[in-house]
Amino acid sequence: MQHSVSIRDLSLNFGSVKVLETLNLDIEQGEFIVLLGPSGCGKSTLLNCIAGLLDVSAGQIFIGGKNVTWMEPKDRGIGMVFQSYALYPQMTVERNLSFGLRVSGMKKDEIERRVARAAEILQIEPLLGRKPANLSGGQRQRVAIGRALVRDVDVFLFDEPLSNLDAKLRSDLRVEIKRLHQRLKNTMIYVTHDQIEALTLADRIAIMKNGVIQQLADPHTIYNKPVNLYVAGFIGSPSMNFIEGTLDGSSFTAEDGTVIPVATYDFADKAKATGKAVLGVRPEHILLGDDAAKMPYSLEVEIEIVEPMGSDTLAWTTIAGRPVTFRAASDVHLEAGQKLVVGFDPARGSFFSSETTNRL
């Protein structure tokens, strides 16, 4: 099957600084890919390379089977949406949408047809006569998406499109982007530093660090089976609990001497599962009460801090000498100083080698 977008051995240097290093990425037709990472990890740079706004230092980029490495942005069959909307301030919404089409010398009735269709999809018909200064943030971003839409392209590029919006608008527009993808079935490449956006929108997430893709997988795998400590710590809020210790095949001994059985854990290579390691457990995988007693590992702890979040409650305690958080349903009454039994199944956690930080 032909890939919608293929990146082969892509490198980009700014002087002596290596921003991207021999990066490979294949994106399927109609796939929603999210590039996720902290600022400065090269995710926006990668997007700009795909768009043709930056010249690559080495490697190739294919879009729709065509080698576009040396092509101008307009010839690549892409549409792009920017964080700051980048609407032309002196033009009306209608002129903003049609600018690219007018530049390409398209016939007037075809331009009108496409603008009308985009406006209908995004429900911005009443705004067509307005200037960007008279639009709200959400409306502006909708127009910016519309500008990509009218170009009738195969690949949509989003560069942190929701980062300038407030929390409520962000979640509204997030759903709209998902709906748009389901309706149009275009390939979409979406850059963000917001893991909620990544987990909710993506078919597959590429987690990046220092110009290198750490893990490329569907959200479920990324969340439950992170390939290394970095991915494990980056994804999830509140973040994963880490306990350092030593593995010896059948059990895990934490630094303070606590022994945790690991018989249920599915090691990639059991022979290598020895030596210094880190156990990662997500807060929601630590259970309490009757459920805790059934777990392969359980103990009594004292709650130190309680953070009610509305939908659930987050509690802080200490396990094996490490601060650990766990989640409880909001109807369970918890308070600081309370003692209770918690437990978890190491099989739902993750072991990482202390040496390589990779998953065991």
Least distance between other proteins and beta carbon 100 (Å): 3
Among 24, 38, 88, 294, binds other proteins (CB under 8 A): 88
Q: Answer yes or no whether residue 142 interacts with other proteins by CB under 8 A.
A: no
- Determine the Cα–Cα distance for residues 128 and 114; give it in Å rounded to an integer: 13
Of 62-70, 83-91, 250-258, 312-320, the segment contacting other proteins by CB under 8 A is 83-91
Of 77-85, 269-277, 320-328, 343-351, the segment contacting other proteins by CB under 8 A is 77-85
Q: Answer yes or no whether residue 80 interacts with other proteins by CB under 8 A.
A: yes
Of 19-27, 68-76, 176-184, 337-345, the segment contacting other proteins by CB under 8 A is 68-76
CB 323 within 8 A of CB 240: no
Beta-strand pair 204-209/212-217: antiparallel
Among 16, 39, 89, 329, binds other proteins (CB under 8 A): 89
Least distance between other proteins and beta carbon 269 (Å): 46
81 or 360: CB nearest other proteins: 81
Alpha carbon separation from 338 to 74, 156, 209 (Å, rounded): 63, 52, 40
Helical ranges in 80-161 per DSSP H: 93-103, 108-122, 137-149
104 or 237: CB nearest other proteins: 104
Least distance between other proteins and beta carbon 262 (Å): 50
Among 85, 190, 230, 234, binds other proteins (CB under 8 A): 85
Q: Answer yes or no whether residue 48 interacts with other proteins by CB under 8 A.
A: yes
CB 97 within 8 A of CB 58: no
Tell me which H or E stretch contains 199.
Answer: helix 195-201
Of 88-96, 163-171, 271-279, 318-326, the segment contacting other proteins by CB under 8 A is 88-96
- Determine the Cα–Cα distance for residues 23 and 36; give it in Å rounded to an integer: 15
Of 3-11, 23-31, 131-139, 339-347, the segment contacting other proteins by CB under 8 A is 131-139
Q: Answer yes or no whether residue 137 interacts with other proteins by CB under 8 A.
A: no
Which residues have a Cβ under 8 Å from the Cβ of 190 and sit 6 or more positions away?
32, 33, 34, 35, 158, 161, 177, 197, 198, 201, 202
- Determine the Cα–Cα distance for residues 304 and 301; give it in Å rounded to an integer: 9
Among 15, 16, 107, 133, binds other proteins (CB under 8 A): 133
191 or 260: CB nearest other proteins: 191
Could you write out the DSSP letters of every residue in 35-93? Answer: EE--TTSSHHHHHHHHHTSS--SEEEEEETTEE-TT--GGGTTEEEE-TT----TTS-H
Q: Answer yes or no whether residue 90 interacts with other proteins by CB under 8 A.
A: yes
Among 1, 17, 103, 271, binds other proteins (CB under 8 A): 103
- Determine the Cα–Cα distance for residues 301 and 283; give it in Å rounded to an integer: 15
Q: Answer yes or no whether residue 360 interacts with other proteins by CB under 8 A.
A: no
Quote helix, strand, coil % in the chain, to nearest 5: 30, 35, 35
84 or 274: CB nearest other proteins: 84
Q: Is 139 exposed, middle or buried (0-12, 13-18, 19+ CB in 10 A)?
A: buried
Least distance between other proteins and beta carbon 14 (Å): 12
Q: Answer yes or no whether residue 104 interacts with other proteins by CB under 8 A.
A: yes
Least distance between other proteins and beta carbon 166 (Å): 17
The string over 103-118, giving b where at least 16 C-beta atoms fall within 10 Å of a residue's C-beta and e elsewhere, is eeeeeeeebeebbeeb
Site for other proteins, rule CB under 8 A: 48, 51-53, 72-74, 78-80, 82-90, 99-100, 103-104, 131-133, 147, 151, 159
